[in-house]
Amino acid sequence: MYLYGSLDEVIKGNIIVNYTFDDSKGAAKTIKTFKRIGVDAINWSSVFMPGVLFTHEEINATLNERGIETIINIKHKGTSQTQTSMSSWG
């Protein structure tokens, strides 16, 4: 799932996965894969309604309320490439 090595000890606590493009099947598959390996993951769009602008304070409060410690952003980079970035939260 991660091209550049092991994710051991990189992902902390609960995670939220943000697909920055419309790929509901890919998002569901990613969440399912994380859950299968024992990581508590949720989809960004299940928490934050797509198209609605949220303030940084609203996003931070929601992430803190849900115990989210890691955010994974997946960006589409063309017809067959994606770019993934992760950040620790909290």
What is the percentage of the chain residues whose pLDDT exceeds 90? 18
The answer to which of 38-42, 69-73, 76-80, 83-87 has the lowest mean pLDDT is 83-87
Task: Say how far apart CA 14 and CA 89 lie, in whole Å.
Answer: 10
Beta strands across the sheet bearing 68-76? 41-43, 14-19, 68-76, 82-88
pLDDT value of position 1: 45
CA angle, residues 43, 19, 44, in degrees to nearest 5: 30
Q: pLDDT at position 69, please? A: 86
State pTM to two decimals. Answer: 0.66
Domain ranges within the chain, ordered by starting residue: 18-88
